Structure 1
Amino acid sequence: MPLHTGKGRTVGTAISDILDYVENPQKTDNGRLITGFQCDSRVADAEFLFTKRQYAALTGRTRGADDVIAYHVRQSFKPGEVTPEEANRIGVEFAKRFTKGNHAFIVCTHIDKSHVHNHIIWNSTALDCKRKFRNFWNSTRAVRRLSDTLCIENGLSIVENPNRHGKKYNKWLGDRKKPSQRDALRGFIDEALAKQPADFGALLKLLREAGCEVKDGGKVPSLMAPGWKAYARMDTLGADYDVDVLRAVLSGQKAHTPRKKAVQLTPEKRVNLLVDIQEKLRAGKGAGYERWARSFNLKQMAQTLNYLTEHGLLEYGALSEKTAAATARFNGLSRQIKAAEKRLAEIAVLRTHIINYSKTREVYVAYRKAGYSKKFKAEHEAELLLHQTAKKAFDELGVKKLPTVRSLQAEYAALLAEKKEAYGDYRKARDEMKELLTVKANVDRLMGYDEKSAEQEKEKSPAR
């Protein structure tokens, strides 16, 4: 998050306000969980301000209220997985890597919540006071990737499906536990219909007895479920709960079909690669893991998990399908380019033979008129050889009607452009295929999927 001065604040005041909040002694164990890099955390506001004045003096560049004075990252950890000291160390490592050690920063680890979290503040002005940190497009993604990498390297959990704009946890949890009022009202109506009321008035009476409030003054009654503060018209509950439809159900003219709940209260448990791999890494045992660890390192596995998360490949089947599709696309483009190259070579040869054939045609006609004279052949041997070679090439290429040189040149130019365009897609497909094959190989080795596959193939093969 870029931090600005804001209204009515000087740069010095703005820096002090930011640092006073993150350095709160009550949240940082009386300052024990504060680490500074290239600055003293106790006077970091003064040091940050000094570098900005030095920057203005050295470069002559000044900015107004829109100037970014510092950058702020919040880094949270799953409750119970990390100690405050370890969280602080990871925060320092993150800041050093992200700023490449070119900016002063402080890391304040807060322990006032159930989840330990870091507040990382770095000076927008570099240590040499000659340049500033330039935020870049998609920097949020880069921050998450680096943070996830560090968490994986340290055996900590990462977020499975990160969303930039989400609800607060308590609101999200509340929404999942409580269905909407219309879902609740449909449930009340289903229960009332199960009691087989005599008519629509009896249905409304059963709803009142169940705790619903009913407004029946207009053409369409409105209902309010217990615990809610607003009414909902019955014609907004869906076609099966329309007043006319319900009257038809009560008179026996129509059967009622209860609507399935739109909200799934208990999320379906879904095993995915992110969970499986993290459990494997935390376990740190097993033959598959040990063999993988001898050939790879945690940074590579962090990159693998980042790739799986960012591309939504959290199920092994999806990873296998995408890898197969990428391989097929690469092979298809490879065949396309090879076919174009083959045809380009044919056109080049054909063009040469057509030119030679055209240049020597009159000589060959004269040779034929001379009754294939040996003397004539000896005198024009080179031209006749070129002519015969060209005719032989036409036969081998299956050419019955000679194309014009202009048409060949046009075809050659079109194929060359097609090949050039295909090469761009070819390189992208090759890189995507290599990346997917690497990711899948890492997953297979760590999870032991390659061993299972080998065992299955061994079982299928007949004994000798």
Structure 2
Amino acid sequence: MAISRILHMNSHHRSKGSHLQVAIDYILKDEKTMNGLLTGSVNCIKENAYECMKETKRLYGKMDKRQGYHLIISFEENECDGDIAMKVIEEFVHEYLESDYEVVYAVHTNTDHIHGHIIWNSVRFTDGYKYHYKKGDWEKDIQPRIDRICEKYNLSTLEKSIKKTDKKEWDVLKNGPFIWNEQIKQDIDACVLRASDYSMFLQMLEAEGYEIKQGKYLAVKPPGMERFRRTKTLGQGYGIDELKERIVKENLNTYRSNQVVRAPKIRMFKSKKVRKTRMTGLQRQYFREMYRLGKIRKQPYSQVWKYRKDVKKFQLLQKQYLFLAKYDVTDVEQISDVQKDLRKKVSVLLKAKKVIVNEMDKHLKVFQAVENIDKEKKATIFYKMGDDTFKESEQIVSEARATLKEEGLSFEEAKN
């Protein structure tokens, strides 16, 4: 049975896209997605998904207000594996979102309940219109689509499960941890990055519509949830003391680097190191799709060499796409204009570089003198103490100081 819940991410006056950025980085974590194997995207490159979505918003002048949508689909425990869950997620994405939106999706297998995440831009890249979620869309359109796809893969559906369960059990499902925990954690993470202290952090949560209870533990209740949830139950990093520590240490500038978590490596034996080329996420996705289509079969030896040309082609296409996105190129004629502008900029930079090099050549003797003094000045101390071993160092420093004197500079002036 796949239970889904749709969430939305709003902008904030201090950082308009922080919620969207945090959510994308979270769902793509390697340790949750079998080292990135169970991830994908449409109409964008997942490694640059946030930048692509932001660029679409900027292109249509819709940078503020709602930033994106996040659909969480939680599967019943032990009902399916990661591959089946990925097929369900991909089929829903291609059916519901592919034609108009930039989308990133992933399946998390690091918990007992396998669950999928789908994040899409609030602005359509095709015409600039915003996605409008209306009351009843989940019940009439989204969940029925998921149920239909689940039936295709012999998974139980929500409609059939509701008929078999009583109200108490349904309330447990509706308010279960795998439906709400992801939303709460992402909202907390986004507020932690922007808050300057714990008090401001709580105010930001309240501004997002959360109800808050404070005591020995912090408990929160997002809009639509029936019961409060203690933040410490969300996992490591969500207790009161841990949140206060994170508020001090974390910010948007350091967020991306802090999210890189390497899985522990277990070395079973030592062997001669073989250098391997690391593939990008796009390339990994390409080979996974080739395997599904039966183009790649398990062999006793690697068959990657057969697809080297395709890999190079993908790398070239990726560079070309990023170039077009960076310079807002929408048609062939614009490429020529962009090239002319870039050539002009290169010409200006080369002239500036030439001026700098000429100035450096003029003062090369000064630079060399400063370098010699820095290098030998400690050795001259021992020479002055009577050790002739360092006589040559004393001569070098004396000549360097004479050079600076000719230029009318002291060592301190030349160094600064």
Question: TM-score normalised to the size of structure 2?
Answer: 0.36
The structure that has the greater radius of gyration is: 1
Normalised by the length of structure 1, the TM-score is 0.33
Structure with the larger RCO, 1 or 2 (CA within 8 Å, 6+ apart): 2
